Structure 1
Amino acid sequence: MPRTLRVVQFGITKKSEAGMELGFFTMPLHPPGANHADTLEADLKQLVYLDQLGYSEAWIGEHYTAEWENIPAPDLLIAQALGVTSQIRLGTGVTCMPNHNPFYIAHRIAQLDQMARGRLNWGVGSGGFPGDLHVNGFDPRSGDNREMTRQAVELVLQLWEDPKPGNYKSQWWDFNIPEPEDDIALRMHLKPFQDPHPPIGVAGVSPKSETLTLAGERGWLPMSINFVPEQMLVSHWSAVESGAVSAGKTPDRSNWRIAREVMVADSSAEARKQALSGTLARDMEGYFLKLLPRSKMMGLLKIDPNMPDSDVTVEYLVDNIFIVGSPEEVSEKLSALKENVGGFGTLMAMGHEWEPEGFWKESMGLLKQEVLPKVTA
């Protein structure tokens, strides 16, 4: 018999009290041809439900030419969600800087933070989807998208702190900030609500990620991708530590976010059946296991680097990387993950279409109400 889940309003829980927070990361994922109005409504409803369950945060992806990942403007969905949620922090996951002019994105994020009154996280990144990089003429093999991102984020922070008048020009942008005219209050004036700015999050993929090293240097929120085995997660934190030490900082594991595919059901058999036959399997087989080989990224998913790509199946992922099972089994797996990587602050459950809706709602509820208390006890 299905459990009766409590859908209640929770206050914001401090990490020091909870030991580990529970968040959400959504690309989102919808099959090609899906009605955009319907999928946007469904994505919003997920955020509302997670807010009611007491999830601490949710991050929304940005993609322009990926029909599977069909939100190009996560800031617009966040703005809509702010009016129908009360406690969940919302973040761009991520703002792909090669898609944006730093002057305009500085204003959009500052305004969004004002609208959020401090409930905003700002995820930034260099982009990874081939079509999106092609739109703006970036060759990912050159690393230009990463260098542009580094410079653009630094410029946004500079504009928020001290927007000096003058010309700002690089190979990627060219804009002017006018001299102030006090009598008509002409100046660049908009700053974020949070002081000095929203928490900045960056996602790491590869071993010894340069991005995560930068997170350690700057004190930003490090986020680890959902596909990688535990041994690679260990290298992710090593990168954060090395960056922090180089900057004379002490890294805080409570800031580390780890994304994982998680599915919880009353029985392990039911959870496994849904994982292998439902929307999770559809998204992996129909999209990611086709996309990742083209980007030469299949090695990231392997617990044995010598295993052939053909062995990386949904069943392999469910058995070795994803966290699937009954509340008891998932609690054990999460506790083991936490111990094996040395501890982390927030588990980010990955988003998919909630079909069947009742199953997915129960899964997200069990994760919050039965699994998390066991893991943090």
Structure 2
Amino acid sequence: MSESNYPTAFGVFMAPFHKIGVSPTVLYERDLQIIELADSLGFQEAWLGEHHSGGHEPIGAPEMLLAAAAQRTKTIKLGTAVNSLPYHNPFLLAERLVTLDHLSRGRAIMGFGPGQLLSDAYMLGIDPTKQRDMMLEAAEVIVRLLRGETVTEKTDWFDLREAKLQVRPYSLPELDVVVAAVTSPSGPVTAGRLGVGMINLAATSPAAFGALRGHWKIAEDEAAKAGRTVSRRNWRLSAITHIAETEEQARKDCTHGFEEIWNYLAHISPLPASEKPDVEGMIDEAIESGSVLIGTPDTAIKKIRQLADQTGGFGSFIMTLTDFTDYERQRNAVTLWAEHVIPEFRGQLKPIREHNAWVRGNEWKAETMAAINAASEKYAAQQQPVSVN
């Protein structure tokens, strides 16, 4: 596998999955502080999700928190992962993302999907069997609006008449747009038809991992049909991730909230429920199945290389952070990732290691001591009294 197929951009994603029983005010502040930390350590992207029920994922308006993050960060890009398009008038959502793009000086990314939680769709009176069609209808309109077009489009759930954004995105040539995918083909079909990026969530889980190569082929095929192109540099993979100094410490960290969060995930997603009698067994089972990436920086490096082999290459890897661990251990995981994983794939460590080996492999000490002695002798000679006849 060529190094050019490995990701060179990295990010953090918080759906978020928080434990029940903590003030949402505190949780919002912690999420923002994680984004600040990632920005200070050189991560390229930060993502927040949109959910409206369930309790564990309390962010209903990710673009609002990202606007706050924009004022507290310098370079990190800020993405919605993802806006659930069937829940929004496409014109108004496009306006909000353009506003975020200006507030962040061109750092906004619009991630979109059909909506994950059936409970959200139920509360909004939306038929879940229509959500993917609704997503595509809205996405086509939003992309046209963001590209400066005037749109007249009527469906059974929105009606736009000569709609045109009065404020264009700050980003040039256009605001970055990304569609979510897991196992269904709807994500790559949309990415290809619209010529936008793609983010595959839960990419290490067995079903999603198996779908990766096929997803990219679908995206390329659909792009060709539509006369568009897709780039692997704009393909992101994400997985539930926690790393620590040792494998044992990583597992220990996750006993904090793994059982609560995993049982919730098994209730709302294709991830399988565990029948293990204790949390340690649940953690081991999830690691062995590939459903989570839990271990050390070396574990993460190995897994990313496996993902590159499976896909043929992708552009960014996004850490999905959860309350498997407490807040301080999440911060530690982000720091370890910046110290060891990012520089491995961005080529920053190789020349340092080569120089270290080069210096250690040569006998510089004798020459250094000889130079010191020569300088000392020269100085001593210069101090000898001059004879006067």
Partner of 2:155: 170
Q: Following superposition of structure 1 onto structure 2, how do residues 199-218 of structure 1 map, counting pairs within 5 Å?
A: 199-207=176-184, 209-218=185-194
Q: Following superposition of structure 1 onto structure 2, how do residues 39-188 of structure 1 map, counting pairs within 5 Å?
A: 39-141=27-129, 144-160=130-146, 161-163=148-150, 169-174=154-159
Q: Following superposition of structure 1 onto structure 2, how do residues 1-377 of structure 1 map, counting pairs within 5 Å?
A: 19-141=7-129, 144-160=130-146, 161-163=148-150, 169-174=154-159, 189-195=166-172, 197-207=174-184, 209-226=185-202, 228-229=205-206, 230-275=209-254, 277-285=255-263, 287-292=264-269, 297-298=270-271, 310=275, 313-321=282-290, 322-353=292-323, 355-377=325-347
Question: CA 1:19/1:309 → structure 2, altered by over 3 Å: closer, same or farther?
Answer: closer
Percent of counterpart pairs with the same letter? Answer: 28
Question: CA 1:145/1:17 → structure 2, altered by over 3 Å: closer, same or farther?
Answer: closer
Cα distance, 1:118 vs structure 2: 0.7
Partner of 1:304: none
**Partner Cα distance (1:97, 1:177) in 2:** 20
Q: Deviation string for 1:57-101 (max 9, x for gaps)?
A: 011111112311111100110110000000100011111111111
- Mark the runs of 5 or more structure 2 residues left unpaired by the alignment: 348-389
Is the 1:331–1:372 Cα contact (8 Å) retained in structure 2?
Answer: no
One-letter amino acid matched to 1:147: D
Question: CA 1:52/1:281 → structure 2, altered by over 3 Å: closer, same or farther?
Answer: farther
- Mark the runs of 5 or more structure 1 residues left unpaired by the alignment: 1-14, 179-186, 302-307
**Partner Cα distance (1:248, 1:190) in 2:** 28
One-letter amino acid matched to 1:56: Q
Cα distance, 1:245 vs structure 2: 3.4
Cα distance, 1:35 vs structure 2: 1.4
**Partner Cα distance (1:129, 1:238) in 2:** 28
Question: CA 1:71/1:336 → structure 2, altered by over 3 Å: closer, same or farther?
Answer: same
Cα distance, 1:132 vs structure 2: 1.2
One-letter amino acid matched to 1:258: L
One-letter amino acid matched to 2:133: E
Using the size of structure 1 for normalisation, the TM-score is 0.80
Query: Which secondary structure does the structure 2 equivalent of 1:93 belong to?
Result: strand
Q: Aligned Cα RMSD in Å?
A: 2.8
Query: Which secondary structure does the structure 2 equivalent of 1:42 belong to?
Result: helix
**Partner Cα distance (2:91, 2:262) in 1:** 37
Q: Deviation string for 1:15-61 (max 9, x for gaps)?
A: 97985211111111223343121111111111111111111001111
Query: Which secondary structure does the structure 1 equivalent of 2:111 belong to?
Result: strand
**Partner Cα distance (1:233, 1:27) in 2:** 21
Cα distance, 1:117 vs structure 2: 1.5
Q: Deviation string for 1:111-159 (max 9, x for gaps)?
A: 2212121100001111121111112322223xx2222222222223334
Partner of 1:8: none
One-letter amino acid matched to 2:210: Q
Question: CA 1:35/1:231 → structure 2, altered by over 3 Å: closer, same or farther?
Answer: same
- Number of positions where the alignment pairs a residue of Structure 1 with one of Structure 2: 336
Is the 1:118–1:193 Cα contact (8 Å) retained in structure 2?
Answer: yes
One-letter amino acid matched to 2:123: V
More divergent stretch after superposition (89-98 vs 103-112): 103-112
Is the 1:222–1:257 Cα contact (8 Å) retained in structure 2?
Answer: yes
Is the 1:210–1:239 Cα contact (8 Å) retained in structure 2?
Answer: no
**Partner Cα distance (2:107, 2:140) in 1:** 22
**Partner Cα distance (1:323, 1:259) in 2:** 10
Question: CA 1:271/1:125 → structure 2, altered by over 3 Å: closer, same or farther?
Answer: same
Larger of the two Rg values belongs to structure: 2
**Partner Cα distance (1:100, 1:19) in 2:** 32
**Partner Cα distance (1:154, 1:337) in 2:** 30
Cα distance, 1:216 vs structure 2: 2.5
Question: CA 1:236/1:169 → structure 2, altered by over 3 Å: closer, same or farther?
Answer: closer
Partner of 1:6: none
Q: Deviation string for 1:142-184 (max 9, x for gaps)?
A: xx222222222222333442336xx754211245559xxxxxx
Is the 2:189–2:218 Cα contact (8 Å) retained in structure 1?
Answer: yes
Question: CA 1:65/1:375 → structure 2, altered by over 3 Å: closer, same or farther?
Answer: same
Is the 1:55–1:368 Cα contact (8 Å) retained in structure 2?
Answer: yes
Question: CA 1:203/1:188 → structure 2, altered by over 3 Å: closer, same or farther?
Answer: closer
**Partner Cα distance (1:309, 1:279) in 2:** 15
Q: Deviation string for 1:257-289 (max 9, x for gaps)?
A: 1111222222112112223x133443112x102
Is the 2:6–2:308 Cα contact (8 Å) retained in structure 1?
Answer: no
Is the 1:223–1:257 Cα contact (8 Å) retained in structure 2?
Answer: yes
Query: Which secondary structure does the structure 2 equivalent of 1:162 belong to?
Result: coil
